[in-house]
Amino acid sequence: MFRYLRFYLTTLCTMLITLGLFFGEHWLWIPGLTYVVAIGLLDQLLKNDYDEKPYKYPALLDLALYLSLPTSFGLFFALFWVAGSGSQDAFGIGAYITSLSSIDVISIRNTTQWYHYIPMFLALTLPATGAGGLAGHELTHRTSRSFDLWLGRITLAFNWGIAFPIEHVYGHHTYVATEKDPATAARGDSLYQHLPKAMFRTITNAWEIETARLDKIGVHFLSPKNVLLRMCLIAVFMSLFAYYCAGWKGVAFHLMICTLTKVALEILNYVEHYGLVRNPNCPVQPRHSWNCNHVVSGVISYNLTRHSHHHSDAQIHYQDLLTHSDQPEMPNGLMAAYLSVLIPPLWRKLITPKLLEWDRTQAIKEEYELIREANLNSGWKALENSITNTGEYSAGQVITS
């Protein structure tokens, strides 16, 4: 039973964090911050998860994903309510909570100091990304199930994530670990060098993919068949809803959290594929992603951490992903790696030996030339020790007598 319930953890925590928002001041950020720190710490303390037993009731696991839409909507609504001032109280929710708890939440909100908002946005970034982005990601991969696809795209559109569902499925998955992929960071690129490039190219790529498709089916760009426009309408609706709840301040809050979730998803991509190299003519293999089998990171990200299998077969539902424990592993679990990349010198220290190991044990000879080039362009001196520079052969290959 717990095997199923654990995938409801993200939803449950997001709901608690959402509830906290109504109580103002430090409750705006303590729950969110606790959530992030707890994941990082528990990852280190608990044993890794190598569970590959099949699940008998996939519908229960689908439900965990479907709940992300109302959860995500609830989080946004609470945030818009926080942005409100004076007597603003959309749908009378503040008065209702006051009547239940006899705490005057509206006046606490109105007297909450501005400096609580800064940690609030930072602490809400990951929960909002989890509820919206990660569940939405899983659902938008299910292209043959129209309900799932529809739900996933709406969930992402709440976050103004309108390029992601198109670019990710039809761009990133096709081009991963090659130069054409906006999300694969080049060796040597710090997070802050990579982010602007990646975010810009994700949008332009999505645009190109969708216009090419519309051109193929002979439909004008301004057509209801344009998926980008349809999702854009949902995103506009969400911003209008923010305006309804809290005026321009609500819209500003919405755009702020949307920007942060975009950044958060790109950081995730940065961690998942940093510096990996593939010959564009060879199929995507498990080794073209950094894998992670830390249990808490896996559970809260709907097994996105089993990234090696996800990329080698993107149609597999999250519960059926294999652990691929022989595949390249990111340093210290997803959450710890995620936080490490924010400090570029630390990340460089952690990832350099991992890259050298990848070159030595995972890369195949056809990739050596590309790796040498990537190492040279990185400007990282330590990468000169790569096996690709020594002329020895990969340990992964069979040598017969």
**Residue 322 contacts residue 52 (beta carbons within 8 Å):** yes
- Per CB under 8 A, 201 contacts other proteins: no
Residue 375 tokens read as 């190492």
Give me the least distance between CB of 205 and other proteins, in Å please: 13
- Per CB under 8 A, 273 contacts other proteins: no
4/170 with CB nearer other proteins:
170
Helix (H) / strand (E) containing 363:
none
- Per CB under 8 A, 389 contacts other proteins: no
Contact region with other proteins (CB under 8 A), list: 38-46, 179-187, 233-241, 387-395 = 387-395
170/207 with CB nearer other proteins:
170
- The DSSP result for 104-160, as a single string, is -HHHHHHH--GGGHHHHHHHHHHHHIIIIIIHHHHHHT-TT-HHHHHHHHHHHHHTT
Residue 171 tokens read as 């761009």
3-state helix, strand, coil in the chain (%, to 5): 70, 0, 30
Stretch 292-331: interaction string toward other proteins, x if CB under 8 A: ---------------------xxx------xxxxx-----
- Per CB under 8 A, 384 contacts other proteins: no
- Per CB under 8 A, 369 contacts other proteins: no
Give me the least distance between CB of 136 and other proteins, in Å please: 17
Residues in 162-181 that interact with other proteins by CB under 8 A: 169-170
87/401 with CB nearer other proteins:
401
How many other CB atoms sit within 10 Å of the CB of residue 391?
7
70/396 with CB nearer other proteins:
396
Tell me how far CA of residue 167 lies from CA of 135, 137, 152, 331, in angstroms.
16, 11, 14, 27
Stretch 45-64: interaction string toward other proteins, x if CB under 8 A: -------x------------
- Per CB under 8 A, 288 contacts other proteins: no
* 3-state secondary structure at position 250: helix
Q: What angle do CA 188, 190, 192 make, to 5 degrees?
A: 150
Identity of residue 301: S
- Using the structure block, give the residue that is written with the tokens 């109302």: 70
List residues near other proteins by CB under 8 A.
52, 141-144, 146, 169-170, 209, 213, 215-217, 313-315, 322-326, 365-366, 391, 393-394, 397-401
